[in-house]
Amino acid sequence: MNCNLRPDNESMKLLNECAKEITARKFNQLGYPFDQNTQFHEFYKWLADTKLCDITLINVGNPYKTDWDMLNTDYFECESIDFIASRFGFDDNHWGVIANGGTDGNMHGIYFGRKALAAKSSRPPVLYVSAEAHYSLQKIGDVQNVEVRPIRAHEMGQMDVEDFAEKLDPSRPALVAIAIGGTFKGAIDDQKAINEVLLEKKPVASYRHLDVALFGGYLPFLDDPAAREIVDVSKMNFDSIAVSGHKFLGMNEPAGIFICHKDILKLVEGAPIPYLKYSIPTISCSRSGFDALKLYWHIKSLGDDGFKAQAGHVLEMGKLLEKSLLERGIKAHRNPYSNTVFFTRPQEKIVKKYAMACNDDPVFGKLAHVVAMQYFTPELVKTIADDIASNS
């Protein structure tokens, strides 16, 4: 069937206006942690040259399956997951999937946790999550019908582990969602202290899921071994981890990576779905086959050295922004290993100009934050700091 290759002129005009406006403002999204420097034009050119762009590509269920007739990019999905898993200290005994985003990665973390705990105890689990963790975790508790117990956070955003110890019910399985880089303040929950509470209180079973949406992209590539340890499963012994693809890892549309130990996968797999030949551990059936190609392309283009350089850069830029704001008399704050700087909210026109994210905080009052990403330069930091200082 023939169809037009382009929309009509009127629609093209609207699309072109949209493209122009978005590209002009690409560096004005400071409140959200996107890599606006990702160079995917070669990737899209390759898709056009190879005609892959005219094909529907869907990956289904377990990307590590063999004997699958449908067109797929499973190999590249597995290669990408294996690369990231090894940077989180997993050995070959890991399993993972490219999820549809950070929330989808967390959805799988809570789902896998629920299943793993159900295999150990018939009592319903409790999901413990700090008040500063991403809102999706509480919502996922609702969706999966798991009782959520919010844990207080300290004023800098870290989970209050004493409150966790008080609220922990040892008679029920504990599903602990640990924030490594809280969304607004960029706080890292103290896994060692959380692990100590679990050891001491001995709940009937426990499962720890790490939400490392943004920080999980760069912590493994920092020079500082203490930073790398935070997301190293061989040191911290967590059960699963979810990282966003479209934050530090540079994907330009929603994607996430969920990784767990392979023995947990066995507890999740149910009976095979006849028309799909295998049992399906993932919640959604179809995932983008293009995401796998794009992430593989990005990993192979940048390599460890590229990620290391970017990781050092985002932290340097975060520090510089904090310092520049403090020098200009703005109350600014930044957590250890964080590229997120939060500060007293400037005038609304500046918040809007740079699309800053805002929060009303019981301790700090009206706040805004900026996340220093790959595209930050000392010149951009100076411009932002000047703009904030003269409009506060």
Ligand X SMILES: Cc1ncc(COP(=O)(O)O)c(C=O)c1O
- Shortest reach from residue 54's CB to ligand X, in Å: 28
Angstrom distance (rounded) from CA 84 to CA 103:
18
- Shortest reach from residue 357's CB to ligand X, in Å: 9
Q: Which residues contact 191 (CB under 8 A, 6 or more apart)?
A: 178, 208, 210, 230, 236, 238
* Complex with ligand X: residue 198 or 213, whichever CB lies closer: 213
Angstrom distance (rounded) from CA 290 to CA 1:
25
- Shortest reach from residue 150's CB to ligand X, in Å: 15
Beta-strand relationship, 174-179 and 126-130? parallel
Residues that bind ligand X (CB under 6 A): 101-103, 106, 134, 136, 179, 181, 183, 211, 213-214, 244, 254, 256
Q: Select from 88, 103, 27, 33 the least CA-distant residue to 339.
A: 33
- Shortest reach from residue 257's CB to ligand X, in Å: 11
* Complex with ligand X: residue 62 or 136, whichever CB lies closer: 136
Residues 126, 108, 277, CA angle at the centre, nearest 5°? Answer: 130
* Complex with ligand X: residue 203 or 209, whichever CB lies closer: 209
* Complex with ligand X: residue 117 or 178, whichever CB lies closer: 178
- Shortest reach from residue 178's CB to ligand X, in Å: 11
Angstrom distance (rounded) from CA 320 to CA 313:
10
Angstrom distance (rounded) from CA 225 to CA 144:
36
Residue closest to ligand X when measured from CB atoms:
102
Angstrom distance (rounded) from CA 354 to CA 234:
40
- Shortest reach from residue 152's CB to ligand X, in Å: 18
- Shortest reach from residue 133's CB to ligand X, in Å: 7
* Complex with ligand X: residue 34 or 95, whichever CB lies closer: 34
* Complex with ligand X: residue 87 or 134, whichever CB lies closer: 134
* Complex with ligand X: residue 95 or 258, whichever CB lies closer: 258
Angstrom distance (rounded) from CA 4 to CA 94:
46
Sequential DSSP letters for 96-161: EEEESSHHHHHHHHHHHHHHHHHTT-SSPPEEEEETTS-HHHHHHHHHTT-EEEEE-B-TTS-B-H
